[in-house]
Structure 1
Amino acid sequence: MKVQQFLEHHGIKENPFGQEDAQSDHVFKEFCLNGTHHPVWDKIFSNPTNPSTSVVFAEKGAGKTAIRMQMIEQLQKHNASHPENRVLVIEYDDFNPFLDCFRERYSGRNRRPERLLSHWRLWDHMDAILSLGVTQLIGQIIEPNESTDNNIKSVSKAQVANLTHLEKRDLLLLAAFYDNSLDMPAVQRWNRLRKKLKFSYWKTEWERALGFLVTIVTVGLVFYLGNWKDFSQWWIWLIMFAGWAPWLWRQASLFWKAWRVTREVRVFDHLPNALRKILARIERRELAGQPIPSRDRSDDRYELLTKFQAILKKLDFTNIVILVDRVDEPHLVNGSAERMRDLLWPMIDNKLLKHPGVAFKLLLPSDVVYYLHREEKEFYERSRLDKQNLVTSLDWTGESLYDVACDRVRACATEPGKNPSIKDLFDDSISEQELIGQFAQLRVPRHLFKFLYRLIVDHCNRYTVDNPSWKINRETLQKVLSLFQRDLEAFDRGMGTG
């Protein structure tokens, strides 16, 4: 008996349980993105006009990635309906590029993952987040995309024109330190941004002009008053060197600043000479006193974050939402709870999590809860998790899993008006409450989908096309559930795939 034959008999056009990962689950994306939510959704998502931080711990398959995708969808709708009160979404979920660059800064035993992550600090997270946000914003300014699908982050020319001179200076400063795009060389991309902002830099060339002027005048006077043999006199070269001294001093000091930035910003690569060329286009008086991420501290990063927020508000982004997910997937973490702890703990800081205008949505694996309960008083005082909308376990009841299964079955119905239920697939002797009790043992949606997929396939394999059975009986249900629970126990011990 074919699976498709069984499903079509019940008015279902495709297997609702064929996918296990939300990112590649087209049924979830097309039909369940807006209507199927976890019971604690409101606490996690909060209000887009005044978003708040939430910290969620959940086991694998509980729906962390699905919640992230749902939040992006809801924020995009909010931006479409509130164009003057938008939210900038920063997806901080791919740690591999940042960790790879971070690892290159160390050598020997410190490159080992178990030691490497112990050197990760709060400002490394802030550098990574600023890099993602600034790169995203600059991409929108350089190549505006005002389509409806891009309204969540589009920036118009009129909005850019409303920036003040100091705000343009701040944006160029942020671009110098944090624009991390591979589309074009850093200096070329920065110059394109400068032209878009109509930010002139001719005043920065006075030292170079002075050097050329002194050189030309000196050479001219030598030829006018003497001959070329006079160039053997040391004082002539001293005069020309004195003319170039201001320019050489400025370039040397800028290179020193650029080198310090490249040393302290450890999550992506900077070229000191390219950064020097960029900083040389900003006037000395405008660069003086500005925060520069050249020290191993978070103070400069907070000031730069505040500047970034001020620019965003002029571009109608009143808040920033940072979605943190997939922290167990980087190859240097590799699912290790200890390494996840080393990577995450610096970020769990009340000053950062409660920064005005910024909301973090931390979707974290439950593996690190063990270490959370073992922390000292100092950690809890610094993190203030009691104020962060903490969800220690993303639990799914049997009833909520039953509803999820029904939603997916209805999403795959062949007729829009027809509302098939998951119970329709089972023998009449199996009650709804019995199914709810069985589903409760599976704990999370991913395990539920795997189980139902196996169950449907196993049932169809028991019958032929000419002699089908349209209901899953109790014997098949109990047998498949028993085998699946055995695999699930092995998975919980880290010895299987679930």
Structure 2
Amino acid sequence: MNLSQFFEHWKIVENPFRGEEARNDAVFARMSALTTGDPAAAALHSDFEKVLGDPARPSTAIVFGEKGSGKTAMRLQIEARIARHNRESPDQRMFVVLYDDLNGFLDRLQSRAARHADAARPARTKPRPARSRNGAEQREPDGAEVFKRIRLVDHIDAIVSTGVTRLVTALMSRGRSDEPAPDVHGLELAARRDLLLLQALYDAGEHADERTRRLRRLLHLPPPPAVMWTVLVVLGAIPPVAFVVWSIFSPQGAQDLWRLVVLLVLLGLWFGVLIRRLVVDRFRVRSLARRLQRQLRVLDRPERSLARALDALSSRDRDAEVLPVTESEDIRYAMLARLRCVLAGLGYAGIVVIVDRVDEPRLVAGDAERMRQLIWPMMSNKFLQQDAIGFKLLLPIELRYAVFKESSGFFQEARLDKQNMIERLSWTGATLYDLCAARLNACRAEGEPPISLAAMFDEDVTRQDLIDALEQMHQPRDAFKFLYRCFSEHCAGVPAESGQYRVPRLLMETVRRQEAERVQQLHRGIRPA
């Protein structure tokens, strides 16, 4: 017998337990789209409502969970719930910033550190590696220095960049994207200028400097001073040329001294405007772009692109005192506040930032110390408790152990007692049973009544037996593996014509013992999966 025949007997159109990654799980995606009152929507963790909070009033939550405990699934459920809230309450929408792909963040920091190291290294010299007592070379792990230099301002820059890029892309698409384009016509002048400034600094899209000029036209902002000076350069050449032509064709020619003086004055004025536009302005903009590029370490913007974007801004917006040209956190908080004000003008009541997949980046590779160095700069109560901004930090369980090793000073700064912290995203056997039963019935043929998970096992296997077995699996991913093996090994051991469509107790107990041992080995780090 094969699995298709087995599930066909039970009127199940899709294998409920083959998915191991929430992002690629079709069953989970279908269940997430269901309403809260649907029986198949019972896949929510008991702590989900605490983590989500009130969608109309964004709040911060910190969750620690093991691999396979459902952190990514919870992130997708948060996105789905906020999307539904935005549809039902268009005047209290939330703007979601997904801060879950940290590979680019770390790669850019590493690339920047490597360039600076090469620039600081004298020519024709190579660094001498340190040596241990036995003479062996001691090389620092790849990227280790990067994690030591991660700052809170780097995270804020990355979050603002992600939000601004998504917002500007939606504005530029205007009907060519699945995401509805916000209406910018109701924005006040100050908000439109803030949006242009944020785009010029933080847009990570292709041809960002060209998008600055397109956005200025879209926002109906007056032309920048650079345009005025360019026009003066072009038009300023007309009076001297006209005067020369007039002098040549006049009866007196160019012999009169006053005509020569006027010509020199006109040429001097035009030359002054030319120097101002081609030399002074360009030097100021390039210098400012160089300072910005030095501080915006997580953005992959060439200096030339930044300079062109800055050239499209007004002089007041190019004031270095309000731009992130230093390591000042206050300026970064001001940039977040600008983004929040712009979104408020577009109908968004707040921002929700979701942090996930911290252990997956190439440079992290599951290393607990690197995860700590990556996340700890964000453990600040001032950062986590901002008005109208909620942070959902879905973190690996290794960071929970690191938290309890910290000093009292760390706890005073982070104030984890105010962050809706879930110490462990744990699942009981009963909750796993409900989850598996919900997935099972979500895959039933349309119009078929729901069935019990225990009905697919022999009569001597009770519901409590399955609950006890699932208790040993600890988390959804391993619970799905357990049930998948039960069904697949049962099908492999019986012929199709036997009509045996229930899993016997002996097989269930055998699989339970093997899977429980696998889970224990996985937790001890001696088994890959």
| Same fold per superposition (TM over 0.5) | yes
The separation in 2 between residues aligned to 1:133 and 1:453, in whole angstroms, is 40
Corresponding position of 2:126? none
Given that residues 78 and 86 in structure 1 are in contact (C-alpha distance below 8 angstroms), is that contact kept between their aligned partners in structure 2? Answer: yes
1:369 aligns with 400
Residue identity opposite 1:65 in structure 2:
T
Equivalent-residue separation in structure 1 for 2:316 and 2:211 (angstroms): 24
Per-residue deviation, residues 316-352 of structure 1 (Å, max 9, x unmatched): 0011011111111111111111111111111121111
Superposition deviation, residue 211 in structure 1:
4.4
Counterpart of 1:253? 284
**For the residues of structure 2 that align with 1:417 and 1:243, how far apart are their CA atoms?**
80
2:216 match:
194
Structure 2 CA distance for aligned equivalents of residues 415 and 497 of structure 1:
38
2:188 aligned with 1:181, yes or no?
Answer: no
Aligned partner of 2:437 in structure 1 is 406
What is the alpha-carbon distance in structure 1 between the residues aligned to residue 176 and residue 79 of structure 2?
18
- Structure 1 distance, partners of 2:176, 2:325, is 36
Amino acid at match of 2:198: L
Alignment of structure 1 residues 161-310 onto 2, 5 Å:
161-182=185-206, 185-201=207-223, 203-212=225-234, 217=239, 224=247, 225=254, 241-247=271-277, 248-288=279-319, 291-310=322-341
Note the C-alpha offset of 1:288.
Answer: 3.4
Q: How many residues align?
A: 486
Contact 2:225 2:315 in 1 (8 A): no
1:15 aligns with 15
Give the distance between the partners of 1:337 and 1:44, measured in 2 at CA: 23
Distance 1:443 1:286 in 2: 54
One-letter identity of the residue aligned with 2:205: S
More off after superposition, 414-423 vs 355-364: 414-423
In 2, distance between residues paired with 1:380 and 1:269? 34
Q: Which residue of 2 aligns with 1:112?
A: 142
1:155 corresponds in structure 2 to: 181
Tell me which residue corresponds to 2:24.
24
Bigger shift: residues 407-416 or 418-427 = 407-416
Larger Rg: 2
Q: Is the 8 A contact 2:173 2:181 kept in 1?
A: no
Aligned residue in 2 for 1:103 = 110
Q: Deviations over 1:143-168 (max 9, x none)?
A: 22499x63xxx334xx3111122221
Contact kept? 1:204, 1:284, Cα under 8 Å: no
Deviating 4+ runs (over 4 angstroms): 108-111, 209-224, 234-241
- Separation in 2, partners of 1:203, 1:14: 63
- Name the CA distance, whole Å, in 1 between partners of 2:60 and 2:83: 18
Q: Which residue of 1 aligns with 2:57?
A: 50
**Any idea what SS the aligned residue of 1:351 has?**
helix
Q: Matched residues in 2 for 1:478 and 1:297: separation?
A: 60
**SS of residue in 2 equivalent to 1:359:** strand
Give the TM-score, by structure 2 length.
Answer: 0.86
Q: 1:348 aligns with which of 376, 379, 382?
A: 379
Answer yes or no: is the 8 Å Cα contact 2:286–2:303 preserved in 1: yes
Q: 3-state SS of the aligned residue for 1:89?
A: strand
Deviation readout 1:289-311 (Å, 9 max, x if unpaired):
76211112221111111111111
Q: Shift in Å at residue 77 of structure 1?
A: 0.9
Q: Structure 1 residue 373: deviation in Å?
A: 0.7
Find the aligned partners of 1:463 and 1:452 in 2 and give their Cα distance.
17
CA distance in 2, matches of 1:73, 1:415: 23
In 2, are the aligned partners of 1:61 and 1:445 still within 8 Å (CA)? yes
Contact residue 397 and residue 440 of structure 1 kept, 8 A: yes
Deviations 1:447-470 (A, max 9, x none): 000111111111111111222422
Does residue 93 of structure 2 align to residue 86 of structure 1?
yes
The SS at the match of 1:267 is coil
Distance 1:413 1:212, change over 3 A: closer
Report the CA distance between 1:236 and its aligned residue. Answer: 10
Three-state SS of the structure 2 residue aligned to 1:364 is strand
**CA distance in structure 1 between the partners assigned to 2:459 and 2:19 by the alignment:** 27
Cα distance between partner residues in 2 of 1:452 and 1:205: 68
Partner residue of 1:467?
Answer: 498
Q: Partner amino acid for 2:157?
A: D
Question: Helix, strand or coil: the match of 1:345?
Answer: helix
CA change 1:213–1:155 in 2 (3 A) is closer
Relative distance call for 1:205 and 1:471 in structure 2 (3 A) is closer
Q: 1:210 to 1:7 in 2, by over 3 A?
A: closer
Where does residue 5 of structure 1 map in the other structure?
A: 5
Instruction: Give 2:305's aligned amino acid.
Output: A
1:264 deviates by: 0.8
Of 112-121 and 236-245, deviating more is: 236-245
Letter in 2 for 1:335: G
Deviates more, 1:272-281 or 1:450-459: 272-281
Structure 1 residues 462-471 or 189-198, which shifts more?
462-471
Pair 1:439-2:470 in alignment: yes
SS in 2 for 1:84: helix
**1:314 corresponds to:** 345
Contact 1:58 1:393 in 2 (8 A): yes
1:137 matched to 2:167? yes
Q: Which residue of 1 aligns with 2:454?
A: 423
* Corresponding residue SS for 1:160: coil
Kindly indicate whether the alpha-carbon contact (under 8 Å) linking 1:398 and 1:437 is maintained by their aligned counterparts in 2.
yes
Q: CA deviation at 1:113?
A: 2.2
Describe the SS at the equivalent of 2:216. Answer: helix
Deviations 1:205-241 (A, max 9, x none): 3434444566555566677447xxx9xxx99997765
Percent identity, aligned pairs only, is: 35
